[in-house]
Amino acid sequence: MSPQIEGTIAKLLALTQRDQQRCWFNALNPSSDFLPLDDRGYVIWSGGGETLSLQQTITQPAGNYDYGGLTARLKLVWWADRARLFVDGEFKQEGDLFDSSCRLLLAEGWQPGQTVEVRLDLTSPNHDRGGLMKAQLIWENEAQPQACPHWLGEQLTILHRYLQRFCPEKLEALGSLLQPLAALDCSDRGQLEAEIIKINEGLEHVAPEIKQRTFHLLGHGHLDLAWLWPVKETWGVGEATFRSVINLQRGFPELTFGHTSPVLYQWIKHHRPPLWKTIKQAVEQGQWELLAGMWVEPDTNLVAGESLARQLLYGQRFYLEEFGQLSLVGWLPDSFGFSAQLPQLLTQAGIDYFVSGKLQWGDGKPFPHGVCWWESPDGSRVLMVQSPPNVAGVMDTDAIAMANYWLDWEGQTGLKEMIWLPGVGDHGGGPPGIWC
């Protein structure tokens, strides 16, 4: 049954969704070949503030599907200090490292045979190479978004993978639900959309228990305090990240954000008092979580034990004096390795939990535990949780990526609750508004 289901999913996704990453050429050299992609599927160019101008022509796919009247958008994700986006030569919007994704409007009411010229002017960060990570074309029925073929295709992708892993006996029921799609003529969009809506309504009856799973979302914007940029830039990036989050929380009060490094909070307190006051209010209201309890996110292998003790002493003391609370979570997402004595030091500082994603980076056998007790030689222990894998500095809210993580997490731990950390990181950033 699975091959037929997979074929139906692929057919639905292909109707109104198309990968455009391989279609870019250099706008300053229109006769050039398409730009190559690296092994991750990214367009990459040199760092140091270099600008790359990308261009491509958007057309509708071949076939008999009726795209007339639909809204065409291009979903983009970039790693650039500045992004300027143009449609048919007209400037439409801009972004940067903080605002690093969009759903660029190409056309409302698509006309048969229509073409659209898209140009991106992307400037790489001073500290890193630039990258265009995603360019996905979608056509949407904005009046009935749940009637879009790719919408159903994504729901089916998630449900199918869940059933394969946990409830294979229900695959036949899913196949039966999808049977009407096999005989439908895709040129009759109205009939297809009506059937899609009907199937969407029936999906929850195939596996109602799927609703028992819960994602806990915590906005995050990891910031390396000392890496490829001067300290002055660190303070500016930290301030910009915090301001971005505060502004988002005004429009999305349910957004919870977490950040580490009391040294950064101290700088905000001394140099940006109004912002500091707002952050303290967000902490009091439960919109902002104080993470780590360490002065910075340190290396824990090369330094002496006294250095780690002082990290915890200064960090927790600052949290207690300024916020009236200690951090309960040792949060070191990007430190390269962890001393065996760390649980002993963490527990002495009032910390019960440890979170890191760095164990996902090993080049050998994968670390086998998503959750485990981590014990020091003296018997002190903390509950260790692996955060979701994030090797590109960006963790978005793509439904299929989240579902893949959930399925692996539940399969490995048996737990039906998991954490997700939407945000742009390494050079700060936090969650962009479009994800909210």
Q: How many CB atoms lie within 10 A of CB 22?
A: 13
Question: Which of 101, 105, 111 lies closest to 72, judged by CA?
Answer: 105
Distance (Å, rounded) from C-alpha 153 to C-alpha 15? 10
Contact 60, 17 (CB under 8 A): no
Q: Which parts of 112-148 fold into alpha helices (H)?
A: none
Measured in residues, the chain has a length of 436
- What digits encode the pLDDT tens for the residues 10-58? 999 999 999 999 999 999 987 778 999 999 999 999 999 999 999 999 9
Helix (H) or strand (E) holding 2: helix 2-16
Contact 100, 434 (CB under 8 A): no
Assign residue 293 a region (left: φ > 0; alpha: ψ between -120 and 50; beta: otherwise): left
What are the sequence ranges of the domains in the chain? 1-212, 214-424
Catalytic residue among 99, 188, 334, 398: 334
Distance (Å, rounded) from C-alpha 164 to C-alpha 114? 41
334: annotated active-site residue: yes
- How remote is the C-alpha of 95 from its chain's centroid? 17
Q: Which parts of 252-328 fold into alpha helices (H)?
A: 262-271, 273-284, 305-323
Contacts 24+ apart (CB under 8 A), 262-269: 262/294, 262/295, 262/314, 262/315, 262/318, 262/319, 263/225, 263/295, 263/296, 264/223, 264/225, 264/234, 264/235, 264/238, 265/318, 265/322, 266/318, 267/235, 267/238, 268/238, 268/239, 268/242, 269/322
Q: How many CB atoms lie within 10 A of CB 282?
A: 20
- How remote is the C-alpha of 218 from its chain's centroid? 11
- How remote is the C-alpha of 14 from its chain's centroid? 23
Q: How much is the pLDDT for 424?
A: 84
Q: Which two tokens stand for residue 145?
A: 């978004």
Q: How many CB atoms lie within 10 A of CB 142?
A: 11
What is 214-424's CATH number, 3.40.190.10, 3.30.70.580, 2.102.10.10, 3.20.110.10?
Answer: 3.20.110.10
| Topology (CATH level 3) of domain 1-212 | Jelly Rolls (2.60.120)
| Per-state percent for the chain, helix, strand, coil, to nearest 5 | 40, 25, 40
Q: How much is the pLDDT for 1?
A: 57
Distance (Å, rounded) from C-alpha 76 to C-alpha 137? 9
Distance (Å, rounded) from C-alpha 425 to C-alpha 436? 16
Q: How much is the pLDDT for 154?
A: 95
What residue ranges of the chain have pLDDT lower than 70?
Answer: 1, 391-393
Q: How much is the pLDDT for 304?
A: 92
Contacts 24+ apart (CB under 8 A), 90-99: 97/125, 97/424, 97/427, 97/428, 97/429, 98/240, 98/241, 98/244, 98/424, 98/428, 98/429, 98/430, 98/432, 99/432, 99/433
Q: How much is the pLDDT for 62?
A: 85
